[in-house]
Amino acid sequence: MPEIAKKFRVIAPDMVGFGYTNKPKNIVYNIDTWVKQIIDLMDALKIKKTNLVGNSFGGAIAIALVIKHPNRFNKMALMGSIGCFSYFN
Protein backbone atom coordinates (compact mmCIF):
# COMPACT_ATOMS: atom_id res chain seq x y z
CA MET A 1 0.00 0.00 0.00
CA PRO A 2 2.75 2.56 0.72
CA GLU A 3 4.03 2.29 -2.87
CA ILE A 4 0.55 2.70 -4.37
CA ALA A 5 -0.12 5.60 -1.99
CA LYS A 6 2.64 7.58 -3.69
CA LYS A 7 0.33 8.04 -6.68
CA PHE A 8 -3.18 7.28 -5.39
CA ARG A 9 -5.35 7.84 -2.35
CA VAL A 10 -5.44 4.49 -0.56
CA ILE A 11 -8.25 3.43 1.76
CA ALA A 12 -8.03 0.01 3.41
CA PRO A 13 -11.22 -0.56 5.41
CA ASP A 14 -11.39 -3.09 8.21
CA MET A 15 -14.52 -5.06 7.37
CA VAL A 16 -17.12 -5.68 10.06
CA GLY A 17 -16.46 -9.00 11.77
CA PHE A 18 -12.80 -9.06 10.73
CA GLY A 19 -9.62 -7.59 12.16
CA TYR A 20 -10.12 -4.94 14.81
CA THR A 21 -13.80 -4.24 14.17
CA ASN A 22 -16.54 -5.14 16.59
CA LYS A 23 -18.33 -8.39 15.98
CA PRO A 24 -21.97 -7.52 16.69
CA LYS A 25 -24.28 -10.50 17.12
CA ASN A 26 -27.22 -8.81 15.37
CA ILE A 27 -25.46 -8.61 11.96
CA VAL A 28 -25.77 -11.20 9.23
CA TYR A 29 -22.20 -11.76 8.07
CA ASN A 30 -22.49 -12.24 4.33
CA ILE A 31 -21.33 -10.71 1.08
CA ASP A 32 -24.30 -8.29 0.98
CA THR A 33 -23.27 -6.86 4.36
CA TRP A 34 -19.69 -6.22 3.23
CA VAL A 35 -20.76 -4.80 -0.14
CA LYS A 36 -23.07 -2.38 1.67
CA GLN A 37 -20.27 -1.45 4.08
CA ILE A 38 -17.99 -0.46 1.18
CA ILE A 39 -20.68 1.46 -0.71
CA ASP A 40 -21.68 3.27 2.51
CA LEU A 41 -18.01 4.14 3.13
CA MET A 42 -17.61 5.46 -0.41
CA ASP A 43 -20.76 7.55 0.01
CA ALA A 44 -19.58 8.93 3.37
CA LEU A 45 -16.23 9.88 1.81
CA LYS A 46 -18.00 11.30 -1.26
CA ILE A 47 -16.22 8.87 -3.59
CA LYS A 48 -18.40 8.54 -6.68
CA LYS A 49 -16.11 6.23 -8.64
CA THR A 50 -12.78 4.59 -7.88
CA ASN A 51 -10.35 1.78 -8.64
CA LEU A 52 -10.57 -1.35 -6.52
CA VAL A 53 -8.05 -3.90 -5.26
CA GLY A 54 -9.21 -7.14 -3.66
CA ASN A 55 -6.87 -9.50 -1.85
CA SER A 56 -7.84 -13.03 -0.77
CA PHE A 57 -11.43 -12.93 0.56
CA GLY A 58 -11.46 -9.25 -0.37
CA GLY A 59 -11.32 -10.42 -3.98
CA ALA A 60 -14.76 -12.00 -3.62
CA ILE A 61 -16.05 -8.77 -2.10
CA ALA A 62 -14.47 -6.82 -4.98
CA ILE A 63 -16.16 -9.08 -7.55
CA ALA A 64 -19.53 -8.65 -5.81
CA LEU A 65 -19.05 -4.86 -5.69
CA VAL A 66 -18.35 -4.64 -9.41
CA ILE A 67 -21.27 -6.93 -10.25
CA LYS A 68 -23.75 -5.02 -8.06
CA HIS A 69 -22.40 -1.48 -8.61
CA PRO A 70 -20.49 -1.42 -11.92
CA ASN A 71 -20.91 2.34 -12.29
CA ARG A 72 -18.92 2.95 -9.06
CA PHE A 73 -15.63 1.42 -10.24
CA ASN A 74 -13.11 2.14 -13.01
CA LYS A 75 -10.71 -0.78 -12.67
CA MET A 76 -10.34 -3.83 -10.48
CA ALA A 77 -7.23 -5.83 -9.56
CA LEU A 78 -7.43 -9.15 -7.73
CA MET A 79 -4.57 -10.73 -5.78
CA GLY A 80 -4.87 -14.28 -4.51
CA SER A 81 -8.64 -13.96 -4.76
CA ILE A 82 -10.91 -16.80 -3.68
CA GLY A 83 -13.02 -16.17 -6.79
CA CYS A 84 -16.72 -16.71 -7.16
CA PHE A 85 -18.83 -18.87 -4.91
CA SER A 86 -22.50 -19.88 -4.85
CA TYR A 87 -23.64 -16.28 -4.15
CA PHE A 88 -22.95 -15.40 -7.78
CA ASN A 89 -24.88 -18.30 -9.33
Q: What is the pLDDT of residues 57-72, one digit of tens each?
A: 899 999 999 999 999 9
Question: pLDDT value at position 68?
Answer: 95
Question: pLDDT value at position 89?
Answer: 47
Which of 80, 8, 21 has its CA nearest to residue 51? 8
Question: pLDDT value at position 8?
Answer: 93
Domain 4-88: top CATH class: alpha beta
Which of 34, 31, 30 has its CA nearest to residue 14? 34
Residues in the chain with pLDDT values less than 50: 89
Question: pLDDT value at position 87?
Answer: 52
Question: pLDDT value at position 81?
Answer: 84
